[in-house]
Amino acid sequence: MTEVAIIGAGVAGTALALALDRHGIPCRIYEARAEGFDVLASGVSITPNGCRVLDALGVLPRIASRSYKVSAMTYKNARDETTDVSIVGSEARYGYATHRMYRKALFDELKAVLAERGVCTEYGARFERVVRESADEGVVFEVSGGRAVRAALLVGADGIWSSVRQYVAPGVLPEYVGTVCAYGHVPTASVRWPSEAYERYGTIQGRPGSLFFSPEVADGSDLMIGKQFVYPARDRAGWEALEADKEQLAAFYREGYEDWGPTAQSLIDQVCAHKDGILLWPYHRIPKMERWSSTMGRVMIVGDAAHAMPPSSGQGVNQALEDAYSLALLLSKTLPNMAPVSDRLNPALNLWRAWRQDRIDAVFAMTNATNLKRLPEEERQKQLANGKANDKVDPLKDEEWRKWMFQPDIEGEVDRWVQPRC
């Protein structure tokens, strides 16, 4: 039995399946939801590191024409003066611009490529538990109704509330970081822009906080407008109730309205005019874990199951893609000679996790800098004064850091982990 079982048919799971198939490793996806399940109505920013993976998997050429391509995030003050520019991609420097698109558009293409390559997804197959794992049998696990399934390996790509993670790291749960984001979509042309040249991928900073905005489609006609704010923790029912209260969400946008300039006020006016479409995203993260795999190395986790991060990182999907690509490459070099597992796969998995964790830690450092910029002025100064934040640290300002983040040498890293053990 050499088949790899993947739990979860989200971006991480489908990308992993494509990456495994690329190396000729049989795999099957098990998804709890029914076919055609809803996908979060938000956009994703595919930065150069993510673009490289999608290109290798044959997906990028299929989504490029549907993406809004950008190379920089522009920061403005309330008077519409440019205060800063962060480089987020460049074909000349890093091989790719950042591609912004709706999550569903990306997901639909991943599924389409899977279908074309004959990779099977079982829908309505909810993972229930790992029964046992051994060198002889691989992994035996149960899905909906107690049906037993056997595979060589089991990979949990089942998201931030992962069930597989409870086998790998019992008791590890998502942590709310104290910040929530409201976001909505409006026609870009409905906003009163100062000029046609005004950057559409940007952030306006002012006393009330920050408004960040980005086109979600190739022609730039559909605009996402978001605002972060500090908010006390709620349970799931509480978050759902808050998201359903569209008047309250619109009120969040309007806080400090008089302190904004005309462009920011127009953004707020338009998102509030479309308030029924405002959505809520409480920011959670997964605490750092010592292992992303079981003691025997037959069960592992990737993507949000292993390292969920706030969407303000702009790297959630990209790091999941890196996970998928690097793990599939690692398995392609270890699966042909897996016995004994503890002598070959486990050490390589430990090195893989350590490398991935270094990159995740770097993303969190960048995210902290982004979140600080988005705070209301009073809260930002409070965090700086009490030492909870540092406005001198912004990794995106460092060209060497950007090269390291946007151009990872995945093949070289995997060879380094595996070859000494060949």
> What is the per-residue pLDDT across 137-178, written as a single tens digit (0 to 9) for each?
899 999 999 999 999 999 999 999 999 999 999 999 999 999
Predicted local distance difference test score (pLDDT) of residue 311: 81
Check residue 391 and give its pLDDT: 57
Q: Which segments of 38-114 are extended strands (E)?
A: 43-46, 68-70, 72-77, 82-87, 98-102
pLDDT at 344 over 50: yes
Kindly report the backbone phi and psi dihedral angles of residue 59, in degrees, each rounded to the nearest multiple of 5, phi listed first. Answer: -100, -35
Residue 422 pLDDT greater than 50, yes or no: no
* Residues contacting residue 264 through CB under 8 Å, at least 6 positions apart: 78, 204, 206, 211
Name the one residue in this structure whose structure tokens are 């923790």: 233
Report how far apart, in Å, the C-alpha atoms of 291 and of each of 40, 94, 295, 301, 306 are. 29, 31, 9, 9, 9
Given this model, what pLDDT does residue 112 score?
95
Asked whether the predicted pLDDT for residue 321 surpasses 90, the reply is yes
Q: How far apart are CA 10 and CA 216, in angstroms?
A: 19
- What does the pLDDT look like over 256-298, one tens digit per residue? 999 999 999 999 999 999 999 999 999 999 999 999 999 999 9
Domains and CATH numbers, the chain: 4-44+105-174+287-421 (3.50.50.60), 175-285 (3.30.9.30)
Residue 371: CB atoms within 10 A of its CB come to 21
Share of the chain above pLDDT 90, in %: 77
Q: Three-state SS for 214?
A: strand
* Average pLDDT rounded to a whole number, residues 347-368: 89
- How open is the CA angle 269-200-209, to the nearest 5 degrees? 55
| 392-407 average pLDDT score | 79
**What integer pLDDT is reported at residue 389 of this predicted model?**
55
Per-residue pLDDT at 390? 57
Cα dist. 268→211, 254, 272, 275, 372 in Å?
A: 9, 7, 6, 10, 21
Q: Which is nearest to 33 in space by CA: 121, 106, 118?
A: 121
Q: What is the pLDDT of residue 386?
A: 72
Nearest residue to 63 (alpha-carbon basis) of 19, 107, 27, 22 = 107
Better-scored residue on pLDDT, 381 or 112: 112
Contacts of 211 (CB under 8 A, 6+ apart): 203, 204, 225, 226, 227, 260, 264, 267, 268
- Give the mean pLDDT of the chain: 91
Sequence-separated (6 or more) residues with CB below 8 Å from residue 151: 1, 3, 4, 5, 28, 138, 139, 141
List the one residue out of 271, 249, 363, 269 whose CA is nearest residue 316. 363
pLDDT at residue number 392: 56
Distance of CA 406 to the CA centre of its chain: 15
Given a cut of 80, whether residue 2 has pLDDT beyond it is no
**344 or 33, which is more confident:** 33
Gap between the Cα atoms of 194 and 111, Å rounded: 41
- Tens of pLDDT, residues 28-83: 999 999 988 877 778 999 999 999 999 999 999 999 999 999 999 999 999 999 99
